[in-house]
Structure 1
Amino acid sequence: MDFILNIFKYIIDLGVSVMMPIIITVLGLVFRKKLGVSFKAGITVGIGFVGLGVITNLLLGTISPVTEALIERFGFHLTAVDIGWAVGASVAWGTEVVPFVFIAIIATNVIMITLGWTKTMDVDIWNFWQPLFIASALYLTTGSMVLAVLSAVINMAIVFKLADWTQKDVEQVLGLDGISLPQIQTTAWSLLGYPINWLIDKIPGVRNINWTTEGIQKRLGILGEPMMMGLIIGAGLAAAAGYPFSGILQTGVTVAASLILIPRMVALLMDGLIVISEAAQEFMEKRFPGRELYIGLDSAVGIGHPFVLSLGLLMIPITLVLAFILPGNKTLPLADLAGLPFYMIFAIVPSKGNLFRGLITGIFIVTGVLYLASAAAPLMTKLALEVGYDVPAGATEITNLAIGSQWYTWFVYWILEAVGKLF
């Protein structure tokens, strides 16, 4: 078992741009595609992820200093500092539950596919850190490996079903044919996004407000195009942060470029994935007539929609204001503010791309994220200290918006923690 886990760990450590070509090539061979076709599809996906990563990192690297400047300029002071998802992931991958949880997640996915309980084949191995974090927290607080593994099985089984349920809308709105998003911090919010969209449908007048990409472009002309939206939003954030004129222009152009280039990298990535998706459907049709199979990927492939990215950027100042005014919140949003587009996917998808409804839903989402990140702060701090992470000077506790975004996993944690205390 250790040998197999070491192979997986080695592949994961290579990074997504190398890991995904390997996985896609192997899947192509499993689905009876020729080696050359499978390898080309894998390399195409890898190139797409390289491009997506470069542009996303450029965007994050540009926006992160802007958010820090906003916080400093407006004097936000809260006790639990958001140090970013990467630390949470490092903590999750650094505990002793990893081998057991890793195997349990893969087994859960295989069993559910075999029994017809899910159509999602999750190849997004890196984001296993999300159920791993809760499993690590349970092991720390209860000492039970059984409960830790059980939490991962429950959390991933839920997200596999959510990925199935939302796939057709993901395909329609985001243009991701045959792709589902089994990522907890993204797809969990579908359970809030769809009910809010349903409620808006019941409000006379408000239900008729429909800010679509086409509608905005028609009304605003060139100002409604994605690149101009990016320029305006990026420049506006930089101006609010007190940047000089040159910095305002640079930030605006970088964000504008991101809104144009990210969808193109996703399209390139999809060129490779469509080969495997079609092969998977053919494979399933021969052995299980009438069954579909979706490829489960990182939600990074979903932020290419102009409204998803725009809403994520618009939510930065809104999140900072909410952090300051929400009673009981102690989370100071910082490192993960640039990752807000990932949490906004299911603010946009349920309404079929309506930015107005997305804005309303987004406010509810970040409110939940802030409160859950605050609740998770003591545990995050304790886990981080267990693996040797130093709490930054001036911070009473550490947290991140990412673990706050994985909302239903905390209910699983609290229930299983109570079970652990009973026994």
Structure 2
Amino acid sequence: MGIIDYFLSLGSTVFVPVVLIIIGIILGQGILRAIRSGIMVGVGFIGLNLAISLISDILEPAVNEIMQRFNFNLTVIDIGSGAAAGVAFSTVVGALIIPAVFLLNLVLLVIGFTRTMNIDIFNYSHYAFTGAVVHLMTGSIVIAMGASLIQATWSLLSADYTAKKVQNTLGVDGISIPQGYAASTVPLFTILEKIYNRIPFLRNSKLDLSYLQGKIGMFGDPIIIGVMLGIILALLAGYNFTDGSNLMMGVVAIIVLFPRMVKIIVEGLLPISESAKGFFNKYFKGKEVFIGLDSALTLGLPITQIVGTMLIPITLILAVILPGNKVLPLGDLAFVAFFTCMATIIHNNNILKTIISGILNMIIVLYVASWFAPYFSSLAEGSGATEIQGQTTALWNGNIFDFIIANIGRIGYVGLIILILITIPIGFFVKKKVAQQYTNN
């Protein structure tokens, strides 16, 4: 654990490049080329972190102003994903989760149950949270760890299933997105895509950025859309001209900078991807292994940022009008783009479909986060991670995989067996679908 803690303390901007350099050398890329590729990805992630800090610096104060101005009467406080991850890692399950998931991933790769090697270690916190809740419910660390590993497996399968779309959309081969929350939205968005394709109005919709720009000219440009969204948020927050104009510029900067930073990451990943192709063609008869990365990589898509910004006021309205919701969106509200990033990919950058899916997903997020509130509050109190009085949660907790696994896992060993029996056929289904995707292409 000391070694693991040391590597975690390096931060993702150091740890991920180190892992990628090692992978590049193993794949025969050459030491200097591997170092260049890994460092370039690290530089890209530093840029992404700077862009994400804009969300904290620019959008979060506006969200807080909107909250105070409209005085929403909701009793459970959303403390945000950062604090929530800290709570998850501070549990008994959190102390064991990193080596356990890493070893599981290696075993599943060897036996061919997955094609993804998940190096997004910082987001193992999602699996830790599920296990910690099951531990609270059952008192069994064995069942809790089993539940966590089941979720890790589901995330890997979800990453495999969407890998081809992710690669085509982002323009880089050999990657996938197993991130704990993004992976959990894939079944919902996939089902919705099939439903949309049965509705003529949605099936025939061509509402992507290029179509929008063709119809309304410069009003469809991401920068102009960012200006309009910034003005709307400034009006909701009651900002004066100075604060409002700064907010508007911040929103535009977020929309413009994310794609630029992702291009740097892609520049580093492309040589690794090419080396991986040659390596697996030579030694594994063409078998492909995907590098599992953080969903932040998908935020470079303008549709994700545009819809994510639109969902901020929409989520506030949903929180107020949904019967039974107890969560006051706060800590995670400015980061709603993360909650809908896979919708952009699955719906092929279609704005209309992505907005509808984003709204439906945020409804689920609010209800699931409300359901987890008592359990999360208990974990948070035990860890001393928050001093907020009353119940707390995070939109980050609104993970449908967490909800399903926790409710089945609470049964005990029978529930764990049920989860395993569910996972095996899902794995074979995904394996067949992935093989078809690559055969057809």
Contact (CA 8 Å) 1:60, 1:338: kept in 2 or not?
Answer: yes
Secondary structure in structure 2 of the residue aligned to 1:121: strand
Aligned-pair CA distance for 1:101:
2.3
For residue 77 of structure 2, give the secondary structure of its aligned residue in structure 1.
strand
TM-score by length of 2: 0.91
In the alignment, what sits opposite 2:87? Answer: 91
How much has 1:99 moved relative to structure 2?
Answer: 4.1
Deviation at 1:334, TM superposition (A): 0.6
**Paired residue for 1:36?**
32
Which shows bigger deviation, 81-90 or 25-34?
A: 25-34
Alignment equivalent of 1:401, drawn from 387, 395, 401? 395
The alignment status of 1:22 with 2:18, answered yes or no, reads yes
How much has 1:421 moved relative to structure 2? Answer: 9.8
1:412 equivalent in structure 2: 405
CA distance in 2, matches of 1:99, 1:69: 37
Tell whether the 8 Å contact from 1:391 to 1:398 is kept in structure 2 after alignment: no
Q: How far apart, in 2, do the equivalents of 1:71 and 1:237 lie?
A: 12
| 2:120 alignment counterpart | 124
Which has the higher mean CA deviation after the structures are superposed, 170-179 or 7-16?
170-179
2:267 is aligned with what amino acid? D
Residues 308 and 422 from structure 1, CA distance in 2 versus in 1: closer, same or farther, beyond 3 angstroms?
closer
1:140 shift after superposition: 2.9
Paired letter, 2:361: I
Whether 2:190 is the aligned partner of 1:194: answer yes
| Distance (whole Å) between structure 2 residues aligned to residue 357 and residue 60 of structure 1 | 27
Q: Does residue 207 of structure 1 match 2:203?
A: yes
State the partner residue of 1:174: 170
Distance 1:320 1:192, change over 3 A: same
The separation in 1 between residues aligned to 2:98 and 2:36, in whole angstroms, is: 28
Counterpart pick for 1:47 among 43, 46, 50? 43
Q: CA RMSD in A?
A: 1.7
Q: Is the 8 A contact 1:104 1:152 kept in 2?
A: no
Of the three residues 103, 106, 119, the one matched with 1:107 is: 103
- C-alpha deviations, 1:77-99, integer Å up to 9, x for none? 11110010111110111122234
Asked whether the equivalents of residues 408 and 415 of structure 2 are also in contact (C-alpha less than 8 Å), the reply is no
Shift of 1:372: 0.2
Q: Is the 8 A contact 1:373 1:400 kept in 2?
A: yes
Partner of 2:357: 361
2:179–2:294 Cα contact (<8 Å) kept:
yes
User: Which residue, 311, 335, 346 being the options, matches 1:315?
Assistant: 311
- The one-letter amino acid of 1:97's match is V
* Structure-1 residue corresponding to 2:216: 220
In 2, Cα distance between equivalents of 1:379 and 1:339 = 23
Match of 2:329 among 330, 333, 358: 333
Cα distance in 2 between the residues matched to 1:413 and 1:128: 16
Shift of residue 386, structure 1, vs aligned partner: 0.5
Cα shift at 1:150: 0.7
Q: 1:114 to 1:422 in 2, by over 3 A?
A: closer
Q: Would you say the 8 A contact 1:130–1:184 is kept in 2?
A: yes
Listed as ranges, the gaps of 5+ residues in structure 1 are: none
User: Which amino acid is 1:399 matched to?
Assistant: T
Q: Deviations over 1:158-182 (max 9, x none)?
A: 1111111111111223334322100
1:217–1:224 contact (8 Å) kept in structure 2: yes
Whole-angstrom distance in 1 between the partners of 2:50 and 2:96: 33
CA distance in 1 between counterparts of 2:58 and 2:214 reads: 30
**In the alignment, does 2:251 pair up with 1:255?**
yes
Contact kept? 2:147, 2:409, Cα under 8 Å = yes
> 2:415 & 2:227 partners in 1: Cα distance?
56
Report the alpha carbon displacement of residue 410 of structure 1 after superposing the two structures with TM: 1.8
1:56 paired residue among 52, 55, 74: 52
Q: State the shift of 1:319 in Å.
A: 0.5
Code of the aligned partner of 2:396? A
Partner of 1:134: 130
Whole-angstrom CA distance in 2 between matches of 1:293 and 1:390: 40
